[in-house]
Amino acid sequence: MSVVLVDSCVILDVIAGTTEWADWSTRMLREVATSGEIYVSPIIFAEVSVGFANVQDVAAALDTLD
């Protein structure tokens, strides 16, 4: 099983769903999830969190990437 560090840009594409890269990012996350584990570092978590009101909202958004 492999572990893949996912960049904040990919996560934000998927969460927002409105960028031109949203479909590609969604496909890549699904592909990685089927063959391994997705890892979000504390730095990437912090980068993603900028648009959220609190940590719980960030965690909930990341949980939706299931």
Over the stretch 11-53, which tens digit does the pLDDT of each residue have? 999 998 888 999 999 999 999 889 888 899 999 999 999 989 9
* 66 band by pLDDT with thresholds 50, 70 and 90: low
> Distance between CA 30 and CA 8 in Å, rounded?
16
Statement: the pTM of the whole predicted model exceeds 0.85: no
Q: Where are the alpha helices (DSSP H) in 1-66?
A: 8-16, 22-35, 42-49, 55-63
> Distance between CA 19 and CA 27 in Å, rounded?
14
